[in-house]
Amino acid sequence: MILDWLLPVLISVALLLAVAGMLKRISLWRAGQPEKVSFFSGLMAMPRRYLVDLHHVVERDKYMSKTHVATAGGFVLSMVLILAVHLFGVENRWLSYALLSALVLMFVGALFVFKRRLNPPSRLSKGPWMRLPKSLLMFAVSFFIATLPAAGILPENFGGWLLAAVLAAGIVWGMGELLFGMGWGGPMKHAFAGSLHLAFHRRPERFGGGRSTGLKPVDLTAAKLGVEKPTDFKWNQLLGFDACVQCGKCEAMCPAFAAGQPLNPKKLIQDMVVGLAGGSDAKFAGSPYPGIEVGKAEGGPNKTITEGLVSPDTLWSCTTCRACVEECPMMIEHVDAIVDMRRFLTLEKGNTPNKGAEVLDNLIATDNPNGFNPGSRMNWAADQNLRVMKDVKEADVLFWVSDGAFDMRSQRILRSFVKVLKAANVDFAVLGDEERDSGDVARRLGDDATFQSLAKRNIAAMSQYKFKRIVTTDPHAFHCLKNEYADLYPEGQKPDYEVLHHTTFINELVKAGALSLEEFKGGTVTYHDPCYLGRYNGEYDSPRELLNELGIEIAEMERSGFRSRCCGGGGGAPITDIPGERRIADMRMAEIKETGAELVAVGCQQCTAMLEGVVEPRAEVKDIAELVADALIEGDAPVSKKNGKQAKPNADKRVAEEIL
């Protein structure tokens, strides 16, 4: 029979071509900057990362995870068996049966892929991706029939040359998509690039339930700062872009996309692919950047990205909320890429849009974004009688005040938190005028030089004093202190303190019985997860527990927890202020309204500012610290009776000590 000699030839040719394509692709990645990865342990860990970590993300969509398990599992299994049965000609009936079952599995999976593609949601890319289910079916069916004789179910030479020709055609199609296409940039590229991306991921800490969200520091002595051309990315970032399956989950979660700002994370990653391979975006078959036509962008590995490939406005639309990263089943790092490109625009081109330049100048000259006199940082606390580290040198808790000190609305949050701290007799102190902006905004705006300068001076200030924990009401400062400062400690030193968000800390106090709270007597309450607390630091529970302690039953929004939608205030977005069709904060408030909540509890002064900026009528916005402070039963704190009002907060700190 013809197939007896034709099949091995076809398979060999397809494999050879696939390998050639893969080598070509690898050379494209290698044009990126060097980055150390643990090569072998990465490869060894890859199956686990794929089967466990990645599966956990895909599992959020049960339909798709089952479909993918069947299709991909069936394909990998059948490919191995095809090599045995049809290439090496192993004549074993059971092996053939196994191949048949694997192909059936793949066929069933492919049917579901097909079904989903009948009426695909807008987030899915069309184009070649619409062909994929048919190719999968063709591969499974052709090989199934071609394997029947080997299994002894059909006689040899069944169907004669006509069937052989049809099968050969089907097999060429199937293998063309699944093997050749894998190496040469077809939809199946995701399997090849994706598995290597998992092996050489730039943030291996993310696997095995870990978390890695801090941005990587820039080497300020480098000849070029930030990413100008695709080849300025690290090689494994380029590899990561190639792993994209264009499922559009990022697009569906992106607040900037929803607001009609010119950003679509999926398109951005695809544009990076265009950049690394060279060409134009004409073949992109998904949603465009809102307001920007597809087909006009052109790029190449050594062409400046922001000149022709991606508009700077696209990069500045991002709120760095990490919703895309959280959602990406391929664990691609969109935010890293965006900030890398912003770094070039800010540090090399001096092109931070709108108020960006002014804010950065202020941060450089006054250590706060609004240019206030740095000596007035403690003015908000003139009546608070706070202990300053310079005087006391030592405290259990360092209260990181953050730039909320300069903002009258945020000061209400700070006062509330101080009231709570005093009621619980916590031994705390502040840095006072020695504190500086955490550097969050500077870093997200791409100015890593200013971030590093602020961070180093903050570290120097903190290093003079002894404390066990830092507590802050600002999730952005929280994130910087907890996840980003460690990189900037002087050689041989590392932070020896724990960093907590105030909701975590108050929750501990309540659990330890250091606070007595009365029942909340308001209407319906919902909770808005700040991105930098939730997705960046995984703190979803403490705020909710705390609200429950107040007797509040949270009316959850549809987008909550790890799927919470950004308020629009992160990543310097209110400063760069890229126009869209809607405001992100308005969309979030509409979601709050859907729950029927009269009050939205937040844990971030930035979120407070953004949500309170929505025109009334709208839900009232309160920080959890304010809710707790309002609910405090004063003078009746479990241990402080004999002290009366807490004039000396550390006079009796038994309870505080118990939990510290």
Partner 1 sequence: MQPDKQNANLRIAALVSVGKHPGSGRARRAEQDARAVEMGLAMAPQGLEVLHAGDPHAEALRAYAGMGLKKIRILQQGENADAVPALSQYLGESKPDIVLTGVRAESGESSGMMAYLLGEKLGMPVVTRIAEIVSIDNGQANLLQALPRGQRRALRVPLPFVASVDMAAAAPRQSAFGPASRAEMEAKKADVEVRDEVQASWSEAPARKRPKRLKVVKAKTAADRFKAATAKSSGDGGKVLRDKPASEMAQAVFDLLLEEGVIR
- In the complex, the residues that contact partner 1 under the rule CB under 8 A are 220, 224-225, 346-352, 356-357, 360-361, 364-367, 371-375, 447, 449-450
Compare residues 109 and 226 and give the one whose CB is closer to partner 1: 226
Give the H or E element holding residue 527.
strand 525-527
- Residue 44 vs 222, nearer CB to partner 1: 222
The amino acid that residue 7 corresponds to is L
DSSP 8-state class, residue 178: I
Nearer to partner 1, 433 or 586 (CB): 433
Provide, rounded to whole angstroms, the least separation between the CB of residue 132 and partner 1.
Answer: 44
Q: Which two tokens stand for residue 259?
A: 């607001």
Phi, psi of 352 (to 5 degrees): -85, 125
Which residue in 510, 507, 598 sits closest to 554, CA to CA? 598
**Beta carbon of residue 355, minimum distance to partner 1 (angstroms, whole number):** 11
Q: In this complex, which beta carbon is closest to partner 1, that of residue 200 or of residue 451?
A: 451
Q: Least separation, in Å, of the C-beta of 350 and partner 1?
A: 3
CB 305, min distance to partner 1, A: 16
CB 560, CB 544: distance < 8 Å? no
Residue 286 token pair = 């998904």
Nearer to partner 1, 361 or 394 (CB): 361
Q: Which residues pair with 469 in a beta bridge?
A: 397, 498
Of 311 and 352, which CB lies nearer to partner 1 in the complex structure?
Answer: 352
Shortest CB 243 distance to partner 1, Å: 31
Which residues make beta-bridge pairs with 60? none
Contacts of 158 (CB under 8 A, 6+ apart): 148, 149
| Shortest Å distance, C-beta 437 to partner 1 | 12
Name the token pair of 218. 């820039």
Element (H, E) at 221: none
Please spell the DSSP secondary structure of 322-333, one letter per residue: -HHHHH-TT---
In DSSP notation, 519-578 reads PP-SS-EEEPPPTTTTTTT---HHHHHHHHHTT--B---SS-GGGPPP-S-STTHHHH--
- Min. distance of Cβ 304 from partner 1 in angstroms? 14
DSSP 8-state assignment for residue 599: E
Q: CA-to-CA distance for 315 and 383, rounded, in angstroms?
A: 43
Least distance between partner 1 and beta carbon 401 (Å): 18
Judged by beta carbon, residue 160 or residue 375, the one nearer partner 1 is 375
Q: Which of 327, 331, 201, 334 is nearest to 264 (CA)?
A: 334
Looking at the Cβ atoms of 203 and 443, the one nearer to partner 1 is 443
Backbone angles phi and psi of 7, in degrees to 5 = -55, -55
Report in angstroms how near the CB of residue 366 gets to partner 1 at its nearest: 5
Comparison of 229 and 559: residue with beta carbon closer to partner 1: 229
**Which residue in 434, 319, 426 sits closest to 375, CA to CA?**
434
Tell which residue, 360, 354, 369, has the closest CA to residue 578.
Answer: 354
End-to-end CA gap in the chain: 79
